[in-house]
Structure formats: structure tokens, C-alpha cells
Amino acid sequence: MAEEIIIDREGLDQLIHVLREMGFQVAGPTVRDEAIVYESIRSINDLPEGWTDEQKGGYYRLKKRSDKALFGYVVGPHSWKKFLHPPERRLWQAKQDGNDFEIIPEELATPKFAFLGVRSCELHAIAIQDKVFLDDTYVNTDYKIRRENAFFIAVQCGQSAGTCFCVSMKTGPKAESGFDLAMTEILNDDGHYFVVEVGSEQGRKLMEKIPHRQAHSKEVEQANHIVNETGIQMERVLDTTDLKELLYKNLEHPQWDDIANRCLSCANCTMVCPTCFCSTVEDVTDITGEHAERWQKWDSCFTMDFSHLHGGEVRSSTKSKYRQWLTHKLASWQDQFGSSGCVGCGRCITWCPVAIDLTEEIPKICDSTTQNTSTPVKNEAPNEIP
């Protein structure tokens, strides 16, 4: 089989059906609550046909397209982490047994996901979470199983949103690796079809079951042209030169105070971010006290309890919370995991209710003409760490 092949809309529908027959739960984009979100899908009828998204700081709207594109949008508030690192997961239960407790371990779920419509920046985000959950001292077994079972169908970006900056972060727009199949959607006078690049043996075997034909060189050229144009049209940039050092040098820059005056500590930016991975554990009991459960839940460095140690919060001010988030994402993440924690997807800009935009704030924070002149925050725990 050639590396690039062509399938049409019916072929894509069949692809979804074959994956479902193979026992995969197929997750893909769909329209819900006026946004494009990732949910289980059963056929191409569930895809956001004819919809696109318009995004800028604090702004997201769906709009109708003039064509029937199935992947003619960019990214929405969801990321694939909700499947690989679920927002809530029960860890164990305890049952009273006379004067003792019996601990009931949670059986590990073994879902088999096929992700349809994964963007390049999202593949990079998954690779970053792999480092966190798989390559560090402790392996997250639940994540490992979900990750190993997963099948990835990337879709190359045919447009960028107003908040994207993947070119600056070297994470897109072209998906180069980390997928089983990568499709470019083409709509023109010749019809509506997909140029499919096969990225793995599993992908090759799957495509043998789907009606297809070999791609002509012109079709491959057109697919490459679409994704290249997406990169050229991306207007937002972030200069990452010496960024880690510049952020470390500017921990008391007055711009942090300026941001803190606007930031609501709502945690939206961390919830939508495809690389943020923090979680907490919560214990709950029933009213009789005979049954207890421990749950893992997504948490955020913006919540009140996140840095609570005996004696109080390590980071109680909004300034220190935002500074922690941004410096971790773009500086200390590199020390900890060997890469940036940001893939330039733009979600934190779109979904910030007050439109705080890290690509606008970072140049101000790293401006050497105004650095290190702010007054340290009062009422902060004495051992505050940035």
C-alpha cells in the first residue's frame, strides 16, 4: 500500500464503523452547547459538518461555513486529556466491617479509544503528558493502559484560529509523527475526499479494510499546500528565545501585578490546557459512615487549596498563582520534563473570561527596561515559592 491514499466521505464513515467493530470507542468532534467538543461518535453524521469556530481573547463562537467540511474548525474547549487522564476517577472504596474497614481496590478500566480529529499541537500535548505520567519516577498505571490502547487519527489543520501560535512553539500545524493515520480534508471541484498518510502498522492494516485508492502526486501536493498555508496565515507569535532564563530573571516584574489586577483565579486556563495535569484527592463518606470512597479529581494551581500546607497556603495571592502557572508552563517545565509545557493551542487565551493572553503578557514580563521593580506581595506565606 502506498504511503498516501485517498478515501471519500463514505470511506471515513466506514473507518468509524470498522473501528467500532474492532472494539474501539471512537471519540471525535461534535457540536454541543454551541461549541465543538470531543465525545463518543458513531458515524460521520455526528461530526460538525459545515461548522467553523471564530476565536480571539475571551471569545469563541461557532459559525456556519459555506461548505460541508467535517473538520473545518480549529480546537474547542476540550482536549483528549479528558479520555486519557479523566477529570474524575475513583481510586478505592472502604466498607465498614464490624470494627474494621475493608478496602476495596478499584479495578482499572481498560477502555480502547480511537481518537478522530487530533490536531498536531494535540499530539505534542499528549507526548508532553506521556513524559509526566509515564517517564517520571512514578508511572500512572491508569494513564498507561489508556494510552497504550489508543489509536490516533490526526487531521491536518486547514485553518488556524486567532489564538493559535503552534508555529512559534514548533508543534504544528503539520502532524509529523505520533499518529496511526493522518488525514487532510480536501473540498474542491473534484469532490470531497481525504488524503490519508499511514503512520503505523496498525494504521496500514486498518486501511486495508477500507475502500481507497492511491493518491496522485497532485493530491498530495494539494494536501501539503493546505497545511503549509495554515502555518503561513498564523498571525500570533511568541518569541521563545531565552524564555526560561528571562522568566526566571523577572519574578518581581511589575507586569505580574498588572495581570493579578485582571485575573479572576477562575482556573479556566488550566482546565482547558491540554498539558496541565495536576489533580487532588477527595474522600467522601455516606451518611451512615459505613461506606467511604477516595476520588482523584483535576485540580488547578489557581484553586484556594492547591498549595495548602499546615499553616496556610504557600501561594495565596492571585499574582503568585498566575506567576506559578506561567513560569511552570514555560520555564520550570523545561527543567522538570525537558520540554516546554505549552504547545501553542491558544485555548487559555480563548477561554479566559477576561482575555488574559500569555503571548501579550510574556513580552512585557521579559522587557528588561522595567524588570524587577514590583513590591513583593504582602500577606503571602513566608516561604512562598514562585
Judged by CB under 6 A, which of 268, 307, 317, 324 binds ligand SF4?
Answer: 268
C-alpha cell at 378: 504582602
From 330, 311, 167, select the one nearest 247 (Cα to Cα).
Answer: 330
Contact range with ligand SF4 by CB under 6 A, out of 46-54, 146-154, 273-281, 378-386: 273-281
Instruction: Report the residue number, 121 or 195, with the smaller CB distance to ligand SF4.
Output: 121
Cβ of residue 303: shortest distance to ligand SF4, in angstroms? 10
Instruction: Report the residue number, 35 or 210, with the smaller CB distance to ligand SF4.
Output: 35
Contact range with ligand SF4 by CB under 6 A, out of 87-95, 129-137, 145-153, 350-358: 350-358
Q: Which residue has the cell 467500532?
A: 20
Regarding 198 and contact with ligand SF4 (CB under 6 A), the answer is: no
Regarding 157 and contact with ligand SF4 (CB under 6 A), the answer is: no
Cβ of residue 113: shortest distance to ligand SF4, in angstroms? 21
Cβ of residue 40: shortest distance to ligand SF4, in angstroms? 24
Cβ of residue 143: shortest distance to ligand SF4, in angstroms? 18
Angle, helices 254-262 vs 318-327, to 10°: value is 110
Instruction: Report the residue number, 116 or 238, with the smaller CB distance to ligand SF4.
Output: 238
Q: Which residue has the cell 500577606?
A: 379
Buried-exposed string 331-368: b where 16+ CB fall within 10 A, e elsewhere: bbbeeebebbbbbbbbbbbbbbeeebbbbebbeebbee
Q: Which residue has the cell 473570561?
A: 353
Regarding 256 and contact with ligand SF4 (CB under 6 A), the answer is: no
Buried-exposed string 46-82: b where 16+ CB fall within 10 A, e elsewhere: bbbbebbbebbbbebeeeeeeeebbbbbbbbbbbbbb
Regarding 362 and contact with ligand SF4 (CB under 6 A), the answer is: no
Cβ of residue 333: shortest distance to ligand SF4, in angstroms? 10
Cβ of residue 272: shortest distance to ligand SF4, in angstroms? 6
Regarding 265 and contact with ligand SF4 (CB under 6 A), the answer is: yes
Instruction: For residue 156, give Cα distances in angstroms to 62, 74, 160, 186, 193.
Output: 20, 10, 11, 11, 13
The 3 state secondary structure assigned to 152-186 is EEEECCCCCCCCCCHHHHCCCCCCCCCCCEEEEEE
| Residue 369 DSSP one-character state | G
Cα-to-chain-centroid distance, residue 217: 33
Instruction: Report the residue number, 323 or 347, with the smaller CB distance to ligand SF4.
Output: 347
Cβ of residue 353: shortest distance to ligand SF4, in angstroms? 6
Residues near ligand SF4 (CB under 6 A): 263-269, 272-275, 302, 322, 329, 342-348, 352-354, 356
